[in-house]
Amino acid sequence: MLRSMTGFGRGEAQYLERRFTVEIKAVNHRYREVVLRLPRYMAVLEDRVRKCVQEYVNRGRVDVYCLVEEGEKQGHTVKVDKTLAVAYYKAMNEIKDHLGLSDEIKMEHVLSQPGVFMVDESGGDPEEWWPAIERALHEACRGLVAMREIEGAALRADLAERVTRLATLVEAISVRVPGMVQNYQVRLHRRIEELTREPIVDPARLAQEVAFFAERVDVSEELVRLLSHLAQLRGMLEANEAVGRKLDFLIQEIIREVNTVGSKAQDEFIAGLVVDFKSELEKARELVQNIE
């Protein structure tokens, strides 16, 4: 099933006095990028969290947030880095002696330095919490995938309509091409008569010029490839895998083909059809940018 790259998921789980809440937000990205925003004391779980998310996501930037709510019985532990405190005190004395100061170094001077006090926010072992965090993580990922699939279904319907319109424009160009050569022959004949003021034109020479023109403006191969690419695009919309990159590549191929048609075909009506095609294709390309 086609999936969008944007979405949101949320999961919760309880372990003893703690409640874990995992929220996942995904947006467009050319590749897969998983950004973890976990409490520092949960760094040991980062690899497992990332692997779990990667099981659900093939493409897009995914931000993972984890909130830990402590129960009433839980508390934080404050630790003192005694070695660092002593080092601060000695450094302060050295500066005092070097500058010849008489100020007294008080306890608050040392205790106010960064790193002397450390707060142990975890109050437990993250390894013991992992089963609960994993449950919340899977729940959030499933919610994310569900939202992506809903948006993906809407994208698929929109893209299918646009592919149909693009195919219709290609058919209209194909119908116009034979008349383009005939119109050129008539215009050339009239132009020669205007320049020479003679109604007689060498038929062989005229046929040769028309043949050169027909070869120069022949877009039959480009039109065949356009229809083939559109058929491939329509088939990819039914795929049960991540096809965003393939669709993006295919759109680029279609752009190249239609640009060639526009540059080779010397016909105002075809030029207008090419402009309509490009406008519709650009809308399709914007949709493809959001497909996983």
Q: Is residue 12 part of a domain?
A: yes
- 66 and 82, same structural domain? no
**What value does the mean pLDDT take over residues 171-193?**
67
| Residue 178 and residue 239 in one domain | yes
pLDDT value at 262 more than 60: yes
> For residue 1, is it within any domain?
no
Cα–Cα distance for residue pair 117/119, rounded to 1 Å: 7
278 and 163 in one domain?
yes
Which tens digit of pLDDT belongs to each residue from 152-179?
999 999 999 999 999 999 999 888 877 6
pTM of the model: 0.70
**Mean pLDDT over residues 50-77, rounded?**
84
Q: Specify whether 141 is located in the same domain as 174.
A: no
pLDDT given at position 201: 56
pLDDT at 235: 92
Residue 216: its pLDDT value, please?
58
Q: 3-class DSSP state for residue 118?
A: strand
Alpha-helix residue ranges (DSSP H) falling in the chain: 46-54, 82-99, 107-111, 126-196, 203-216, 220-236, 244-264, 268-288
The pLDDT value given to residue 169? 94
Please state, in angstroms and rounded to a whole number, the distance separating the CA atoms of residues 120 and 43. Answer: 14
Q: Are residues 266 and 198 in the same domain?
A: yes
Q: Are 11 and 102 within one domain?
A: no
**In terms of residue numbers, what domain contains 97?**
77-120
**Are 68 and 39 in contact, with CB atoms under 8 Å apart?**
yes
Q: Per the domain annotation, does 96 fall within a domain?
A: yes
How far from 66 is each of 71, 144, 160, 271, CA to CA, in Å?
A: 16, 15, 38, 55
Q: Specify if 218 maps to a domain.
A: yes
Task: Report the CATH number that the domain containing residue 13 is assigned in CATH.
Answer: 3.30.230
**Cα–Cα dist 11/114, whole Å:** 36
Q: How many domains are contained in the chain?
A: 3
Give the count of alpha carbons within 13 A of 187, CB side only: 10
Q: Is pLDDT of 197 > 80?
A: no
Do 219 and 262 reside in the same domain of the chain?
A: yes
Assigned domain for 2 exists: no
163 and 41 co-located in one domain = no
> Would 133 be classed as within a structural domain?
yes
**Res 264: pLDDT:** 77
* Type of residue numbered 282: E
* Same domain flag for 196 and 252: yes
Looking at the fold, whether 26 and 143 belong to one and the same domain comes out as yes
On the question of pLDDT at 193 being above 80, the answer is no
Top mean-pLDDT range of 10-24, 66-80, 112-126, 191-205: 10-24
pLDDT mean over 2-7: 92
Angle at 204 between CA 201 and CA 210, to 5 degrees: 90
- Helical (H) or strand (E) element with 69: strand 60-69
pLDDT in tens, 263-290: 877 778 888 999 999 999 999 999 999 9
Q: Are residues 249 and 190 in the same domain?
A: yes
Lowest mean pLDDT among 4-13, 15-24, 73-82, 200-209: 200-209
177 and 228 in a single domain? The answer is yes
- Which residue would you say has higher pLDDT here, 71 or 20? 20
Alpha-carbon distance of 276 to 274, in angstroms, equals 5
pLDDT, tens digit (0-9, with 9 covering 90-100), for 33-58: 999 999 888 889 999 999 999 999 99
Closest CA to 152 of 34, 59, 67: 59
Tell me the per-residue pLDDT of 232-258, one tens digit each, with 9 for 90 and over: 999 999 888 889 999 999 999 999 999
Computed on alpha carbons and rounded to an integer, the radius of gyration of the chain in Å comes to 35
**pLDDT tens, position by position, 74-104:** 555 667 888 888 998 889 888 888 888 888 8
pLDDT in tens, 114-157: 887 765 555 578 889 999 999 999 999 999 999 999 999 999 99
Note the pLDDT of residue 104: 85
Give 106's strand partners: none
Do the strands 32-37 and 60-69 form a parallel or antiparallel pair, or are they unpaired?
A: parallel
Closest to 292 in 3D by CA, of 138, 155, 140, 160: 155
